[in-house]
Amino acid sequence: MTHVLSRAQFPQCALHPVLAETALACMAEQNRAYTQREPIGAHKVVVQRLQGMSDVQVEGTEVMALGGLVVVDIVVRVKGGEGRWRRVAVEVDGPHHFMRNAPYQDECGGSTRLRNRLLEDAFDDVVVVGRDFSLKRPAESQEEWLRSKLGVAGVGRG
């Protein structure tokens, strides 16, 4: 996965290939341990809502992507037109993903932006579940919100 940090793409910040390989191996090992957790809180609610949709298949939670560089909260396959399935990364972002100071509090921080850009290259789509997804909403409203973000029509349940 050293191409992520290649000199051709990022000449100003490229790492020596041996250093890049070592850094990615360390990150992958750390992320492997991270993936052993069960979803909790908002992650768990989002997984439950996704599992209730007939045209969405949950592939997994805490899935390593990009050779272990990134851990994706939830990976789903979404059925689209003509029976084509899209692979979508769903990220559940809590407060630490956002800036704290006005007027930027609704903007993602730098590491979250980088993660999203990397995921956009690795998946057909990336859906970020952030502050506008409320755990206080009724389940039907949460599912409707997710359907709109995933581009899935209807209210069919699995």
In this structure, the strands spanning 85-92 and 125-129 are parallel
Residue 31 token pair:
């992320």
Cα separations (Å) of 110 from 21, 72, 127, 146, 153?
A: 23, 17, 17, 25, 33
Question: pTM above the 0.95 mark?
Answer: no
Nearby residues of 119 by Cβ (< 8 Å), 6 or more positions away:
65, 70, 72, 89, 91, 126
Which tens digits make up the pLDDT trace of 70-104? 889 999 999 987 789 999 999 998 777 777 788 87
Which tens digits make up the pLDDT trace of 28-55? 666 555 555 555 688 889 999 999 999 9
Backbone angles phi, psi at 139, to 5 degrees: -55, -40
Mean of per-residue pLDDT scores for the chain? 79
